[in-house]
Amino acid sequence: MKKLIIAGFAIATLGLTSCSEDDDMPIEQLATCTDGIQNGNETGVDCGGACAPCDGGDNGAVPQDEDLSGLLSEDFTLTNDIIWELNGKFVVGEGATLTIEPGTIIKGQEGTGSLASALIVARGGRIMAEGTAEEPIIFTSINDNIDLGEKQGSNLDENDRGLWGGVLILGNAPSSFEGDSEESQIEGIPADDEFGRFGGNDADDDSGVFKYVSIRHGGALIGSGNEINGLTLGGVGAGTVIDHVEVVGNVDDGIEWFGGTVNTSNLVVFAGGDDGLDIDMAYSGTITNALAIQGAESDHALEIDGPEGTLEGAFTIQDLSIIGDANAPSGAIADLRDGAMGAFNNVYVRGFNDIQNVEIDDSASAANYTDGSLSFSAWEIVLPEGVTSVSSIFEDTTGSTDFSNDATNFATAIEQDQETVGADLSVFGWTYASFRGAF
């Protein structure tokens, strides 16, 4: 296959190797570059490719073929007439916009550690990925036999995990960091990679549009016990559109919000290896109409952490359905910890066993529940076999609140298929989870 490699660069300055109009010679080799991107602390040979053919300018960074790696420094479109391949880290740099046509398929190459394939939209970069229900944009593994014009292949299913990395979108919106710093390094990207920084003071920051996108079979290992989430949102601002997104069979969390203010809607996470929806660092946007479907390897459907610094922010989850796996050896409906703050409204729960619960795990979260900054309303639960009251589902491990007793005020036991709250599942007919009959 022909190779398209974006020219090597020094991350510290975002400086690109340039070429003249008739120059498509290999770039200078760089000795210790191991991940396809020359970082500021790397010298030596081979960031992995050749200077792309010039377009009459001096940038040398325009993709010309289907193999994606390195830094994108100017606008480019991924068309739906070929299958694109992520080969290591592909970074949409500051000032650049990556457009992805409806129906486009992007496959991630295998690799772990620094070689894990991932699409990273850095701060100041933008993505315009606007699929449709008829033509969703699909990120999947190179091992997936899905072909052009198809919505799913035939050789992988939701239990095939960790075959590539994932998608990370990073922005300049406020987030709560330890020590009250204004920015931090995102989980899943090595600390010396500057394109992994996120956070700032622009609540309305705009990272683009991410709509009708399915992310499958990701979560490659980058270190001991450290995998990439299906979709990572770090400090993403309210000017960004995240709508109709599905994550299937990811090793780590399905979707994780690290601070930020972006509002997200119509989300599906299916058969992950860790948490379904994970909130951290004072995320203060809304999550509307979401579906979390647990698998045999899943941990918590919801994992909610509070602020790490003094900056506080509270999310709202509205219209959520959670489908459990009673045979999972671990996991829970929700784990609320580290000063969790937010509101859970109109939640439907079914399919869990009698030890999988909603749990307040620390005194700070318990205090937030007492003062109302952690709240619950309109829950409907299909009780597990052997459970006779909704009070048994809700537990405060600190013993400092009336969380269990209060449950009868905000939660109701119902029969399956009798719910009046939760997600509108009719909008998820386009998803792989629907194809697999998961709901």
Residues 74 and 50 in one domain: no
CA 193 to CA 89: how far, in whole Å? 11
Residues 132 and 23 in one domain: no
Query: Structural domain tally of the chain?
Result: 2
Question: Can you give the pLDDT at residue 419?
Answer: 98
Residues 98 and 235 in one domain: yes
Residues 92 and 49 in one domain: no
Report CA-CA distances (Å) from 154 to 58, 376, 404, 435. 44, 41, 45, 12
Angle, alpha carbons 145-151-153 (nearest 5°): 25
Question: Can you give the pLDDT at residue 90?
Answer: 97
For the chain, 439 residues long, the average pLDDT of each consecutive 10-residue run is 38 29 28 41 36 35 73 98 96 98 98 90 98 98 98 98 97 97 90 93 98 98 79 98 98 97 98 97 98 96 98 98 91 95 98 96 98 98 96 98 98 97 98 98
Question: Can you give the pLDDT at residue 63?
Answer: 53
Give the domain range for residue 29.
1-66
Among 66, 98, 114, the domain boundary falls at: 66
Among 19, 44, 66, the domain boundary falls at: 66
The answer to whether 346 and 321 have CB atoms below 8 angstroms apart is no
Tokens of 209: 């549009």
Question: Can you give the pLDDT at residue 71?
Answer: 97
Question: Can you give the pLDDT at residue 221?
Answer: 83
CA 164 to CA 154: how far, in whole Å? 18
Residues 185 and 230 in one domain: yes
Residues 303 and 372 in one domain: yes
Residues 265 and 177 in one domain: yes
Residues 282 and 332 in one domain: yes
Question: Can you give the pLDDT at residue 423?
Answer: 98
User: pTM (2 decimals)?
Assistant: 0.88
Residues 58 and 87 in one domain: no
Among 66, 86, 102, the domain boundary falls at: 66
Residues 148 and 247 in one domain: yes
Residues 94 and 51 in one domain: no
Residues 178 and 305 in one domain: yes
